[in-house]
Each structure stands twice: as structure tokens, then as C-alpha cells.
Amino acid sequence: MTTFLRKRIVSSAIPLVVVVLGVFILARLTGNPVDLYLPLSATAEQRAAFSAEHGFDQPILVQLWDYLGQVVQLDFGESLRTGQPAAEMVLEAFPATLQLAAVTMLIAIVGAVLIGSLAAYRPNSLADRTSSFLSMTAASIPDFWFAIMGVLVFGVSLGILPTSGVTGGPEVWVLPIATLLIRPFGVLVQVVRGSMVAALSAPYVKVARSKGASEQRVVFGHALRNATMPVLTVAGDLTIGLVNGAVVVETIFGWPGIGKLMIDSILQRDFAVLQAAVLLTAVTIFLLNILIDVCYALLDARVRQAVPA
Amino acid sequence: MTATLDRPDDTAAAPKRPPRWWLLLGRDKLAAVAAVVLGLVLLTALIGPLLLGDAATRQDLNASLRPPSFDHGITGLLGTDILGRSVLARLVEAAGTTLSVAIPAVLFSLVAGSAIGMWAGYHGGRRENIAMRVADVILSFPSLLLAVVVLYVFTPSVANIVFILALARIPIYLRTARAEAAELKSRLFVDAARTFGTTSWPTIYRHILPIAMPTLLTVATLDFCFVMLSESSLSFLGIGIQPPDVSWGLMVAQGRQFLQTAWWIAVLPGVAIVLTTVSATILAAWVRLATDPAQRWRLTLPTSKRGKRSVTTEVTA
């Protein structure tokens, strides 16, 4: 088990490094921020001084080397926009997104397992067809449009929910979470249903039934346990995909999270903040992947054994 | 497989050939409707612009923000935007743009991802490791942000959007195909093929692909939604399709500021997106059933009897 984990940590660290390096280089390809931050009337000396101050006049590999040297000392540079340390801005924004994502995934997984299992229990029953149709629709609605419709109906017409912002009671959470939730929820219900239908028609379920196990035990003990693997994979990918949703949701609702911070940083060529935000996102996803691998190994003995020591 | 246990015992009487797919489609009303909707969208995208001429770009400031009505002919049916352009004509125009991004992107990622995935899963070892690491790298970064960064560096042209969306979705097929191939490669029939000297690609093509295909097709049809939604999100954020071109996502973005005065500009393109993606999802579910020999029989039963345990117990008893 520890050998397995060690191997997975090493192999999951590679994407982490590649993504951070890739974004560093791609960001620099978007052009020198000097055009964006100095007035058009700036003299050549002023422009050169600005470039030199932030290191943009160096070759890209030198910039990268300097950057890595700073990151090792936990120095992530300063924002070009605000002059604040980038790490501070990112850490300020991160909890807002993390809370949104955690609450969303929790509701999505618990709800999907219950509804998906119920639907799979009697394939093609009325409950199954209704939940299948609704989950398909949920997974297919564009999140930005759903958010706008939510604002239009509940914010503008009925006036019972705020149209944006984070200050206030629990009602500010309703629309952002509902928007983030629809897609993962719809997808997960279908995945749970699909793998539960397969699991419930497997021979071991017949064996369990014929041994006289209660239906509850058959569904949640035997079938669900074996149907968990695909659900876990998809849930992991959906969690990463939540950052996509977060960009849209945070933009529409003015939620001060990391998705909005990243989009703004890209558009404003605020490289230090973008890099810090990407690094933190990549580390979070790295930890999430390790967590999923641990769950795999705990659930399926074959995975543990498949990896040679 | 469970097929032999659950399936009605009709092997003696029924012809060996499985039922024609359009007969199966006719049996499932919902899937049939979905297929018709998708066909209509495709048809609209192909011949719509020919019929409407320049109606999508013709401006008429006198007709600015006119609500949907029957009074202004076919182009005024769904109202007009701030410049007096027909929303219906723009929806038709946008259908073409949206599909010309989504379809190539899906096909490209399906073929590339499945081939690499099955190859990796079948061989295992180092090849599997490398393929999976590359997939991890792509998946470990949110696709929308990747697309935003890449499209910001390179210009947001249709070709670049197709490329980046396809690249972002390859790992999905790769992982699915690898998982199927890794499980199938130790099955008896694959062992048998190998024992008789079949080389790797023919084995993959003849013995692994047919079994992995239903899953991959389902993933592809579902992914069509994802790609469409990604494109519209990108266009909505202003980094996808650029004006004067028009896509459904871009129309929602443009209509957002008129939400309180002219709801139809933002609402209708969203309805078009939802109709198309929901239809694709419903069809995906049908494809999954229709291409799975163990499940296909369900479609040949009347709806009321499908899925009831009594059907199978009656037959097997």
C-alpha cells in the first residue's frame, strides 16, 4: 500500500510540474505587460526600466530559473495590478472557491448516489425514466445561461434572491451553488445509474440475493461497492471541472474566488498572480488525485496488487 | 455475460441479425424525438443560411429590440436585437458556427483518444504509463482556463478553438478506452486470438474495439454536449467565437445586458443550446442500449414491459 502510494505521488507530481512550467511559458507568450501598464506616451527608457524592474527583459529561461528560485523560498512575486504579494491575493480568494466547490460536490455525490441507485433498481420504471430525463437535462444546460435565468427569475422578477455578491445570509449561496451543481449532479446521476444497472445484474448480486441478504444490503453493500469505481473517477474529473464552472459563476455573481482571479490575471497579464493561482490549483488537484488513488486502492484489491513493488 | 441469463429465449425463432437500428429507434419515442431535433439542427445549420440570405447581419435601427411577434414576417418571428437584426436569422447562422466547432472537435478527440487508449491498455507497461501521464497532465488543469490561456496567446479562430477543445477532451476517451482494453486483454477470447498469432492492432480492432465501442460512443455523444457547452462558455467569456461571427454562447453574452428589457435575446439562444445538448444526451443513452448486445433486447419490448423483472423470470422459468 505505501509502495503504491509512493509511486502514485511521484507520477502525479509530473503533471503538477508540467502545468506550472507550461503556464509560465504560455503566459509570457501573451506579450510583455509593459504595453498594458504604462501609458502610450511612456518613453523608451521608462519602458525599459519597467521591463528591467520585473525581469521581463531577460530571456525566458532566465526568468523561469529566477522564478523557480523564488518559489523555493515561497516568494511568489507581487501583483502588477495592485502591488500586493501574489500569494496573499491567491490565498484570500482560494477559500471562497473551495467552499463553493466542497458544498457543491458533497450535495452532488450524496444526491446522485441516492437517486442513481433508486433509478437503477428498476430500470425503465417511471422513476428511472423521470430521473434519467431530468439528469440528462441538468447535465446539458449551459451554466452561464442557467445562472442568468436564475438571476432573471429569482433576482429580477421575484426579487427573493440577490443577483450577486457575497455579503448577506445563506441566500447568497443559493444561485452560485445551484449553478455549479447542475452539471456534476446530472452527470453523476447517470454514471451511478449506469454502473448500478450493470452491478445489479452481475452474478454476485444473484448470489447475494439467493443467500438471503436483505435488499438494502444487496443494493448498498454489494452492488454499490462495486459500482463505486467509475463514480469515483468521474467525480474526480468533475471536481477539476468545477474550476471551469467557478470561472463562469464567479464572473457572473461577482464571487471573489480563484476562478475570477485567474481570468482577470490572464486578461491583465498579471503574471505573478496567474502563476501563484495556477500553482495553488495544480497542488490542490494533485492532492485530490492522490486522495482518489487512495480510495481506489482501499476499494479494489486488484489495484493494490497490479502495481509491482 | 449476463445476456444469456436475462434475455428472452428467442434464439430459435428470431433471425440471427439484430433488429434494424431505425426500428429500434422507432420503439423509443424520446430517442426518436431527440434524433429528429438533432437532424433539424443539422439541416438548419446546412441550408438555413442559404434561405435567409443576409438577414442575420442586416441592421435596421427602426426595428431595434422588437419583441417576438407574427407581425413582421418570418425574420421578426423571434424578435430583434439592439441593432434591429433578426434573432431568428442569427440563431440559424449561429447553429452553423456552433456545430462546425463541436463536430470536428468531438470526432478528432474520439478517434485519437480511443486509439491511443486501447493501444496503451492493451500493451500495458511503459506505454500505458506514458499515455496515462500525458492524459493526467492535460486533465490536471481545468480545460476552460487552458483554453483561455491558449486562445489568448494564439488568436481565437475557429480552427484554434476546435484544436484546443479536442486536445482537452482526448484524455476522457483515452482513459475510458484504456480501462476497457486493460480489462479485456486478459479475457479468454483475447488470449485465444493472441495464441493464434493475431498481432496487436488486429486484436484491438476486432476483439477489443467492438466491446469498448458502446461505451466510447456514449462518451462521445455526451462529450458533444460538453464541447458545445465549452465553446459557448468561451464565447460567453469573450474569448471564443468573435464578432462579427455569431455563436449561441456569444448571443447569450450579447443579450445579457438587455436581460430586463429584451429577455428574448439572451433566453432564446440558451434554449437552442439546451434543446441540442439534451437531444444529444438522450440519443447517447439510446446508443448505449442499442449497441450493447446484452441490453438491446430491452428496446424490442413494449415500453410498459421493459425492465420489469417478471418479463425475465417468465421467460427463463
Question: Quick check: is B28 in a domain?
Answer: no
Question: Quick check: is A213 in a domain?
Answer: yes
Residues spanned by the domain of A209: 86-306
Out of A5-14, A28-37, B145-154, B230-239, pick the least confident: A28-37
Question: Quick check: is B287 in a domain?
Answer: yes
Please list, in sequence order, all residues whose beta carbon lies within 8 angstroms of the beta carbon of residue A65, skipping any fewer than 6 positions away. Answer: none
Q: How many domains, in total, are found in chain B?
A: 1
Residue A165's pLDDT band, with cuts at 50, 70 and 90, is low
Residue B19's pLDDT band, with cuts at 50, 70 and 90, is low
Task: Report percent pLDDT > 70 for chain B.
Answer: 79
Q: Tell me the per-residue pLDDT of B260-287, one tens digit each, with 9 for 90 and over.
A: 777 788 888 888 888 898 888 888 878 8
Residue B74's pLDDT band, with cuts at 50, 70 and 90, is low
> In the A/B pair of chains, how many CB contacts fall below 8 A?
157
* Cell matching residue B142: 481545468
**Mean pLDDT on B109-125:** 89
Residues spanned by the domain of B226: 40-307
A186 SS3 class: helix
Residues from chain A that touch B280, judged by Cβ atoms under 8 A, are 140
Of B148, B233, B260, the CB nearest to A144: B233
**Mean pLDDT on A77-89:** 81
Give residue B1's pLDDT: 41
CA A124/CA B301 separation, integer angstroms:
11
**Mean pLDDT on B139-156:** 77
A215 or B4, greater pLDDT: A215
Question: Quick check: is A48 in a domain?
Answer: no
Tell me whether residues A14 and B136 touch, CB distance under 8 A.
yes
Question: Quick check: is A77 in a domain?
Answer: no
**Mean pLDDT on B78-89:** 75
Give residue B152's pLDDT: 76
Give residue B303's pLDDT: 54
Give residue B14's pLDDT: 46
CA B274/CA B287 separation, integer angstroms:
20
- Asked if omega into B244 is within 30° of 0 (cis), the reply is yes
The overall average pLDDT reported for chain A is 81
Tell me whether residues B137 and A23 touch, CB distance under 8 A.
no
* Cell matching residue A27: 503566459
Residue of B274, B264, B277 lying closest to B90 (CA atoms): B264
Q: Is the confidence at residue B191, as pLDDT, over 80?
A: yes
Question: Quick check: is A51 in a domain?
Answer: no
Residues from chain A that touch B259, judged by Cβ atoms under 8 A, are 148, 151-152, 156
B32 or B17, greater pLDDT: B32
For chain B, the three-class secondary structure string (H helix, E strand, C coil) is CCHHHHCCCCCCCCCCCCCCHHHHHHHCHHHHHHHHHHHHHHHHHHHHHHHHCCCCCCCCHHHCCCCCCCCCCHHHCCCECCCCCEHHHHHHHHHHHHHHHHHHHHHHHHHHHHHHHHHHHHHCHHHHHHHHHHHHHHHCCCHHHHHHHHHHHCCCCHHHHHHHHHHHHHHHHHHHHHHHHHHHCCCHHHHHHHHCCCCHHHHHHHHHHHHHHHHHHHHHHHHHHHHHHHHHHHHHHCCCCCCCCCCHHHHHHHHHCCCCCCHHHHHHHHHHHHHHHHHHHHHHHHHHHHCCCCCCHHHHCCHHHCCCHHHHHHHHC
Question: Quick check: is B313 in a domain?
Answer: no
Chain B residues 203-262 within an 8 A CB cutoff of chain A = 222, 225, 229-230, 232-233, 236-237, 249, 252-253, 256, 259-260
Q: How many domains, in total, are found in chain A?
A: 1
B86, β-bridge pairs:
B80
Tell me whether residues A145 and B252 touch, CB distance under 8 A.
yes
* pTM score: 0.77
A42 SS3 class: coil
Give residue B112's pLDDT: 93
Residue B56's pLDDT band, with cuts at 50, 70 and 90, is low
**Mean pLDDT on B24-30:** 75
Task: Report percent pLDDT > 70 for chain A.
Answer: 93
CATH number, domain of A196, equals 1.10.3720.10
Asked if A233 reaches chain B (Cβ–Cβ under 8 Å), the answer is: yes
CA A59/CA A66 separation, integer angstroms:
11
The overall average pLDDT reported for chain B is 78
Question: Quick check: is B4 in a domain?
Answer: no
First to last CA, chain A: 9
Task: Report percent pLDDT > 90 for chain A.
Answer: 2
Question: Quick check: is B138 in a domain?
Answer: yes
Question: Quick check: is B285 in a domain?
Answer: yes
**Mean pLDDT on B20-48:** 81
**Mean pLDDT on A110-126:** 86
Asked if B267 reaches chain A (Cβ–Cβ under 8 Å), the answer is: yes
Among positive and negative, which fits the CA dihedral B54, B57, B63, B66?
positive
Question: Quick check: is A17 in a domain?
Answer: no
Question: Quick check: is B60 in a domain?
Answer: yes
Q: Could you tell me if A29 and A63 are in contact, meaning their C-beta atoms sit under 8 angstroms apart?
A: no
Asked if A254 reaches chain B (Cβ–Cβ under 8 Å), the answer is: no
Give residue B110's pLDDT: 93
CA B209/CA B119 separation, integer angstroms:
11
Residue B299's pLDDT band, with cuts at 50, 70 and 90, is low
CATH number, domain of B67, equals 1.10.3720.10
Residue of B40, B51, B58 lying closest to B95 (CA atoms): B40
